[in-house]
Amino acid sequence: MKKIILTAIAITLSSEVFAQILTPVKWSYAAKKVDKDQAVVFIKATIDKGWHIYSQHLTDGGPVKTTLKFAENNDYALIGNVIEPKSVTKYEKSFSMNVQYFEQSVIFQQKIKLKAGQATVNGTVNYMVCSNQQCLPPEDVEFNIPVK
């Protein structure tokens, strides 16, 4: 009986170790008013060593590109497109193409026009993270960024 109980405990503990979810990307958010009518929203990905996320500007047929979607809101309007810094470009055998990606960290920026002096910017980031060993399934992360 002791062996059965010990075996059951060992199986439970080992399955918990294997069931841990990898989270190599941490997201943070901020906003800065430029003047009373405009602000910039910052969406930052901090990426664990050995991992990378992809640019918004990938051609079709490769990995999932990072996409930022902003919810419609009467308190603000988007000005232009999301800005990203220069990415690394490298040929990836697994996709048989050149891809653009970011390592360590990346800050995406979106300018907005405030209609009411302040707002909460809501939306979703869809991204895929890969290492040299594996890619994790694409993930959606919601954000709510107060602009005051």
The model's pTM is 0.84
What's the pLDDT tens digit per position in 2-52? 444 434 444 444 444 444 688 999 999 999 999 999 999 999 999 999 999
Cα 99 to Cα 92: distance, rounded to the nearest angstrom: 7
Amino acid at 139: E
Q: Please, what is the end-to-end C-alpha distance for the chain in angstroms?
A: 64
pLDDT of residue 50: 97
Give the distance from CA 6 to its chain's centroid.
41
Q: What is the pLDDT of residue 116?
A: 86
Separation of alpha carbons 34 and 66, rounded Å: 26
pLDDT digits (tens, 9 = 90+) for 118-146: 999 999 999 999 999 999 999 999 999 99
Q: Where are the beta strands (DSSP E) in the chain?
A: 25-33, 38-47, 51-54, 67-70, 76-83, 88-92, 97-103, 105-114, 119-127, 129-131, 139-147
User: What does CATH list as the number for 23-147?
Assistant: 2.60.40.1250
Give yes or no for a contact between 103 and 85, defined as CB atoms under 8 angstroms apart. no
